[in-house]
Structures are given as structure tokens and as C-alpha cells.
A and B are shown apart, each in its own frame.
Chain A
Amino acid sequence: MLKKRLIPLLLLQNGLLVRSESFSIHQVLGNPIHEVERFNQWSVDELIYIDISQDDACDLRRDDHKIRGLNDPLAILDAVSRTCFMPLTWGGRIRSVAEMRERISRGADKITLNSAAVKTPDLITQGAQVFGSQAIVVSIDSRRHADGTREVFIDGGRTATGWKPDDWAREAQRLGAGEILLQSIERDGTGEGYDLELIAAVAAATSIPVIACSGVGRYEHYVDGIRAGASAVAAANIWHFKELSDRGGKRALAKGGIDIRL
């Protein structure tokens, strides 16, 4: 049977790999290619790369790294896909079918849409028609308000949309999305665990796979995410700050009785 997936999520900002907290604090981790080589050697299930740059500026520290053209995210995608023999999802600043095609032809298997999907929902449908639903991942950033309700935010967590996450996920599926990448703004970088209510609500509202993200601090949190209804569990920071993070995560999932690829 289909195995649950464990996925590292890498964030790219102005040509460098960063870690994120609450969608607003970003610390530089370093070279965007070396991590991928490591994950490839570990034979991880899948990889998600998101370019969260807000402009085209590039960081001068790129001179420290031995890869040219780091200021161009597409050059990074080229380099990543040369060492990546696993499924690769690429996201960030994609606003047209032409931009989707560019990324898929360079080695991405799937692309994710976030802000553009909310602003131009037809983009989901167009992408699904050209590349198939399975190649279109709609990424949803949820923020929990003080009264307990949740709302979808776009533009890197800065703009409210009025959508409830489960309603928007259902609509994204109807428009042709093949997968949902679900992030929680207030859990991001906290290590407190996933927003399980959010995962359960979105999983119940859709029949496409949901990838849970945001908040993993311990490997056991992955098990909670799967039990809440996710088909795959992703995390960012834990992959950078723990040794043998793939083995550790897989072992925790197996111990939780979850069918995974060992």
C-alpha cells in the first residue's frame, strides 16, 4: 500500500538557504545545494523547495559558496535537479503557466502556488489542464486568530484573504489542485507541534493528499500529523538542526505504527 511520506522543506531567500520563524524572522543557513546532496544520499522520500524571496535582490554572501548564478533561483533549480533523484516540488513567486512550465522542464515534478492561487484562482485550473492535477500543489498559510478561528493569509503571511483554510482547500481541489501543502504561520519555527485541528479540518474537507507542515520540534510530532489526517508530513528546521533527521523521523513514524518507506 501507499506509504506515508516524510519530507524536508527547504526555504530559499535571495539565493541562500534560510530557516524561518513565524514567517517573519529568517536566519541564513547557507548553501542551497549542499543540503540537497545530503538528502539525496539519505534517500529521503521527497523534497520541497520554496523561494520566499520578496524581491530579486541577492545576498552578497553568495560569494562564499562555490555555485555561480545563485542570484537566479532557476540556476539553483538546475543545480538541485542534477543531484536530486527524488520527487521535487518547487514553489515561490510562480504567477503564470509559462513560469510553471519553466520550472517543470528544469526538473521540478510539481509546482506549488500560494498567493497567486488566491489572487488568480484560474491559474490552478490552467496548470492542472496543462500539467495534470498531480503537478499542482496549492500551498495554504493559515493564521489562528485570538478567537480560535483560522484564516488564510498570503504574501508571506502579510495579507488576509477572508478564506477559511478548509473552505479554500476545498475550492482549490475543485479548481484542479492535486495536493495541499498546509502551513501554520503561528506554529512556524516554534517546535510546538503541528496545528492538528487545522490538519483535521482540511483533510476532512478534501479528498486530495494533504502535506502537513509548521511546528515540528520532536519526531513524534510527525506521528500526530499523520493521525490527524495528513498523507505526508513535512518540516523545515528540524532537518537542519538534528543529526540523522531522516532516520530519526522514520523511526518515530514506524514506532507509531505508520507504514513508511524505510
Chain B
Amino acid sequence: MIAIIDYGMGNLRSVFNAFQALGIEAVIADGPAGLREAAGVVLPGVGAFGDGMRNLCERGFIEELEKQVVAGGKPFLGLCLGLQLLGTRGFEHGENAGLGWIPGVVNRLVVPDALRVPHIGWNDTRFVKPDALFDGLGAAAAFYFVHSFVLVPDDPAVITGVCDYGVDFTASVRRDNICATQFHPEKSHKAGLAVLRNWAAALPKSC
């Protein structure tokens, strides 16, 4: 069973529906207690960085996540804002502290003049490092993005996928049990559902 974190920011219904369609048992956790029994934790998110951190904190998730994911090694999947919140600091509507699990900053996507921001739509992600998340997808796949900010990790070795929108930016990251995508797998048809299936397939079976 996996837990999807409800912190008032998510398109969590879509994420829940995607796992259901894949036959993977998922629950929506509206408080930290809901994370304890789960084999893996998903942090989805549509929204602004500061509100996201504030809501995670107010609902008591941060301490439990530190315990389960950082100390306990429980598999974690961040989606969109759920990737950005892994950074140390974010600059959307002022400066805010992030979770800091993947040291780096979340900046506005700066692209050549002719390109429009937010970056909305289907774009190719090149898989720059082998990752079980992308099993069966080849060297690159088109996923759906919708965002104005990007994570710039301090250590480029955590980057597993790169997307080109006039400039290359971080499309996916992994550090041990913590992985995340800037794109929305739950909104990316077959390629996206494959990512969610791959992530769930690697979870401990006993749970």
C-alpha cells in the first residue's frame, strides 16, 4: 500500500486515480499517521512553494517524513511541486525554506525571450542516468509539464532526467530512496503510467 500526502495542494485525486487504474493500492493520507503503514510515500503537488511548505508543516507531515523517508529509508516519490520542495530554498513569491533533502535552489525558469513561461505541455525528457523509474521507456520519452520554477541541485549527480526548453533543466532526480519528477506522470498517458508502475514495482513486497 502506498500513501499519497494530502496537504491541501495537490491534484492528489489524479495521482490516486492513476494508481487505482494500475491496480496499486493507495490511500490518501491527510495526516502523518497515514504514512506509517505505507510501503512508499508520494508527495504530489500543484501550487506555490511557500504555501506547500507551510501546509506540510501545519499538518505535521515534516517530522514524520524526516523519520520515515530520510532516517528510515522509505521509498519517496515527489511529483512537480513535490520535486521542488526537496530543495533547500525556493524563490516563488518570496524566499522560503524547502525540505532540503536534495540540496539546491528552486528558481524561476529563465528561458530565451521568444519562449513562454510557464512551461506548459508535452516535452521530451532525456534519461541521463539509468534509473528503475524509467525501465522500458528507452532513452527519452515525452511527458506533460506545467511549471514556472525548476530545481537546480547543488550536486548534478542527482539528476536522472533532463528536459530542454531553450535551456536544459532538471526533469527528474534521485538520491537513494528519494526520487522525483518535475513532469506529471499521472497526466502523461502510457509513458507516465509506466513511471508510476515502475516506482511501485520496486517497493518492499511485505507491506
A interface residues with partner B (beta carbon < 8 Å): 1-5, 40, 43, 45-46, 78, 81-82, 84-88, 101, 104-110, 128-135, 178-179, 206-209, 231-232, 261
Which chain B residues lie closer than 8 Å to A104 at the CB level?
10-11, 46
Let me know if B12 and A105 touch, CB within 8 A: yes
B29-56 CB contacts (< 8 Å) to partner A: 46-48, 51
Q: Is B177 an interface residue (CB 8 A)?
A: no
Residue of B8, B81, B117, B144 touching A101 (CB-CB under 8 A): B8
On chain B, the number of residues with a Cβ less than 8 Å from chain A's Cβ atoms is 45
Chain B nearest CB, measured from A185 CB (Å): 25
CB of A178 within 8 A of CB of B121, answer no
- Give Cα distance in the complex from A132 to B147, angstroms: 8
How long is the Cα–Cα vector from A104 to B18 in the complex, in angstroms?
15
Name which residue of chain B comes closest to A41, CB basis: B189
The answer on a CB contact under 8 Å between B46 and A131 is: yes
Q: Which 3 A-B pairs have the closest CB atoms?
A: A134-B118, A107-B13, A261-B122
Q: Which residues of B contact A3 (CB under 8 A)?
A: 121-123, 142
Determine the chain A residues whose CB is within 8 A of the CB of B184 once the complex forms: 87, 109
Q: Which residues of B contact A130 (CB under 8 A)?
A: 47-48, 51
Q: List 27 A-B contacts (CB under 8 A).
A: A1-B164, A1-B165, A2-B119, A2-B121, A4-B121, A45-B121, A46-B144, A85-B14, A85-B186, A86-B189, A105-B11, A105-B12, A108-B11, A109-B187, A130-B47, A131-B9, A132-B81, A132-B148, A134-B120, A134-B147, A134-B148, A135-B47, A207-B116, A208-B116, A209-B116, A209-B118, A231-B120
Contact with A along B119-138 (1 / 0, CB 8 A): 11111100000000000000
Nearest opposing residue in chain A for B189, CB measure? A43
Collect the chain B residues with CB atoms within 8 Å of residue A105's CB. 8, 10-13
CA distance A230 to B32 in the complex (A): 44
A132 and B48 in contact (CB under 8 A), knowing A2-B165, A101-B8? Answer: yes
Given contacts A3-B122, A86-B187, A179-B120, contact A107 B148 (CB under 8 A): no
* B193 contacts A by Cβ under 8 Å: yes
B205 within 8 A of A: no
Instruction: Give me 4 other A-B pairs in contact (C-beta within 8 A), A3-B123, A208-B118, A209-B120 excluded.
Output: A2-B122, A45-B122, A85-B193, A133-B148
Give the complex CA separation of A184 and B20 in angstroms.
39
Chain B residue at smallest Cβ distance from A260: B122
- CB of B117 within 8 A of CB of A207, answer yes
Closest partner residue, chain A, to B50 (CB atom): A129
CA gap between A131 and B192 in the complex, in Å: 22
Which chain A residue has the least Cβ–Cβ distance from B123? A2
Check A231 against B14 for contact (C-beta < 8 Å).
no
Give the nearest-CB partner of B93 in chain A.
A129
